[in-house]
Amino acid sequence: MCGLVGALSFDQSAFRVSEPYLIRMRDSLAHRGPDGAGVWIDRDGRMGLGHRRLSIIDLADAAAQPMPNEDETLWIAFNGEIYNHSTIRRELNELGGHRWRTDHSDTEVILHAFETWGIEAVAKFRGMFAIALWDTRRRELWLIRDRIGVKPLYYSLHHGRLTFASEIKALLEDPDQARALHEESLFHYLSFLTTPAPQTLFDGIKKLPGGTWLRVRADGAIEERRYWDVWDHTSPLIGHSDADLAALVLAKLRESVALRKVSDVPVGVFLSGGIDSSTNAALFSQGEAQPVRTFTIGYDAEYPSYRNELSHARFMAEQVGADHHERLLSLDDLLEFLPRMVALQDEPIADPVCVPVYYVSELARRHGVIVCQVGEGADELFWGYPGWKTFRRLELWNRWPVPSTLKRLGLQGLQWIGQGETFHYERLRRGCLTQPVFWGGAEAFPEAMKQRLLSRRLQNKFRGLTSWDAIRPIHERFTSRAWEQGPLQWMSYVDVNFRLPELLLMRVDKMSMGASLEARVPFLDHEVVQLALSIPEAAKTRGGVVKTLLKQAVRGVIPDTIIDRPKQGFGVPVHEWMQGRLGTVMQDRLSEFCDRTDILDRSAVLELVREQRDPRGWYLFNLALWWNHYLA
């Protein structure tokens, strides 16, 4: 796990890549790679790569980056892990013609695989990755983001050059990079707590979507292509018993966890005491001579909005004989972390869970662990959220042939009783337009309320626009490719394509790397995802029990008391903390933000935060902190 940067100049007379320029970009990412640093610049000064290293596989100096192949016709800067690199290396050796400079570097495997198969080599990689690869013969740059989008990759095209990096802050080290708000992305941020790829909140800075590559030629010609979509790799498992499906799921999870145990440095597990993290801990501990190291975050009190899971985590740690560590967080910890959080995020990731993710990463790193396995993805793949039961029912009702006139009367009725800004109204509105009710597992503000929160200028600018425009391309891919088009398959698909890579996985990447720790995601191995979406919806929703198939798969692997306890998400007691000092800080920052910008409506914002003490004020607060740090 590392940080990469680079630049390609299309006009040598206008801009030449220099070492100080690259080092300034590179070292803004020192937290991603404290173990080493390197730069490489092509002889003509048109292309350069920089790299910060967190040593995990092949710790030798020979595995440092940027790395060339044997004749220096290919150069690479790479962030991530290729878990099956040993298998690919053996295949390459059987083909012959490769000279290796490292013993077992996965980075070098990428170079030789690209030599042999070109861009089609990506199909062989099982892992998480952001890759920048320069082909000196063809004079072209490849930027590649892994299938699910576990690792981020940003780029910007300006002043006759393309710059790229693992984090936005590196791009901002270019003195010619403009700092301005991308206002349409702000509009969608208020819906989804994050910005949909390929845009970011910075005008002119983009992020590569998951499962996509970008080819950039030296003359500035750019081609973007989606190289992976889960529906192209599913095999409908119709006619299989639930027991057979559960066995397939468990076997694939065992394989995925085993692959993610491979490391030359200590590996641990984030443990909440829920099904997902407990499964990680149990599967990880099997066959290990040493105790698995587990890490848990709790809070300094029991809050109505979030009950500590410490007892469940301790119980599971005892079951697997773990070396277990905990930390309790307080409001002081959150307030102290805010400036660091904003700097690490680059653009707002308006999920307060960023706070405990950072602190649990720091806890692991403090105890000598460099890599941890995390549980993201299981809920999205196996119907794990209780609220999804309601969404699925609404999606089914939305497909009934109800006259649109009745739906419109329903909308008028909701408006008449003062419910025009609620999600009840919003979901019926979507039904009237024959849109899916479900737009993603994280939604902040309904369209009507969002419009009221915007300044008058932006209300006028975005009149008639909705955030359906952001996810319409995902829905079009779903309707044209999905072998089964039930509501749950849609819900899983949109979250795999949007909420997971741009919100949940982004918070894991930015916060864990802020503590110089690598996070691995066994449930989002692309083969696990392909298997999950090959399973018929009926098998995953049998009996109306959430996560029923996954529970069946891991029963006997983890205790029944863990499997059968009520679902509890990983959260932060923002609601209670808003009643005290946090609420005061939020009011002050948002008031200042509204006074200094023409983005939000001051009275609507302060009503939400000061009078209603609505936890959704956290999303606006994150925006204000970001603006003050990066744009003020």
Q: Which amino acid is at 15?
A: F
* CA-to-CA dists, residue 256 to 23, 178, 521, 557, angstroms: 36, 42, 9, 15
Q: Is 372 helix (H, G, I), strand (E, B) or coil?
A: strand
Tokens 């610049």 belong to which residue?
Answer: 41
594: annotated active-site residue: no
Backbone angles phi, psi at 381, to 5 degrees: -90, -30
Return the SS3 of 48.
strand
Closest CA to 108 of 75, 136, 144, 130: 75
Question: Of 2, 354, 372, 594, which is the active-site residue?
Answer: 2
239, 532, 560 from 244: Cα distances, Å: 10, 13, 20
What does the angle CA 570 – CA 576 – CA 579 come to, to the nearest 5 degrees?
Answer: 150
Instruction: Please give the full DSSP string across 215-270, using - where no structure is assigned.
Output: EEETTS-EEEEE---GGGG----TT--HHHHHHHHHHHHHHHHHHTT--SS-EEEE
Half-sphere exposure of 626 (CA within 13 A, CB side): 24
Nearest to 235 by CA among 530, 493, 541: 530
CB-based contact 347:195 (threshold 8 Å): yes
Contact predicate 53/65, CB 8 Å: yes
Contacts 24+ apart (CB under 8 A), 103-106: 103/58, 103/60, 103/62, 104/57, 104/58, 105/57, 105/58, 105/60, 105/62, 105/63, 105/67, 106/57, 106/58, 106/81, 106/82
Instruction: Determine the 3-state secondary structure of 589 from DSSP.
Output: helix
Question: How far apart, in whole angstroms, are the C-alpha atoms of residue 443 and residue 196?
Answer: 13
Q: Quickly list H helices, 367-403.
A: 378-381, 387-398
* Strand 267-270, strand 293-299: pairing: parallel
Name the residues annotated as catalytic.
2
